[in-house]
Homo-oligomer: A and B are copies of this chain.
Amino acid sequence: MNKPEVPDFLKNIRIVLARPSHPGNIGSAARAMKTMGLSRLYLVAPKEFPSEHADTLASGAVDVLRTAVVVDELALALADVTIAVALTSRRRELSTPLELPRQLAPEMVARARAGEQVALVFGNETFGLSIEEVEQCNRLVTIPGNPEYFSLNLAMAVQVMSYELFSHVGVGVDYLRSESEPATRDQVEGLCGHLDRAMESIGYYRQRNGERLIRRMRTLFSRAGMLREEVDILRGFCKQVERTAEDRHGGSTSD
Contact = CB atoms under 8 A, between A and B. Distances in A.
A140 to B, nearest CB: 9
A156 B162 CA distance: 11
A75 interface: no
Q: Which among A91, A94, A172, A175 has the greatest number of chain B C-beta atoms within 10 A?
A: A91
A227 B4 CA distance: 45
A16 B102 CA distance: 26
A5 B95 contact: no
Given A60-B151, A160-B160, A146 B95 contact: no
A144 B159 contact: no
A227 B94 CA distance: 11
Contacts of A176: 89-91, 98, 142
A4 B149 CA distance: 12
Nearest to A163: B160
A219 interface: no
Contacts of A40: none
Contacts of A4: 147
Interface stretch (A28-36, A41-49, A190-198): A28-36
A150 interface: yes
B147 A6 contact: yes
A146 B35 contact: yes
A151 B95 contact: no
A37 B163 CA distance: 19
Contacts of A102: 167
Interface in A126-167: 142-153, 155-156, 159-160, 163, 166-167
Contacts of A173: 98, 100, 142, 144
A19 to B, nearest CB: 21
Interface string A221-252: 00001010110000000000000000000000
A178 interface: yes
A59 interface: yes
A232 B172 CA distance: 49
Interface of A: 3-6, 31-32, 34-37, 59-61, 89-95, 97-98, 100, 102, 142-153, 155-156, 159-160, 163, 166-167, 171-173, 175-178, 180, 225, 227, 229-230
8 contacts: A32-B156, A35-B150, A91-B177, A91-B178, A94-B178, A97-B177, A98-B176, A155-B156
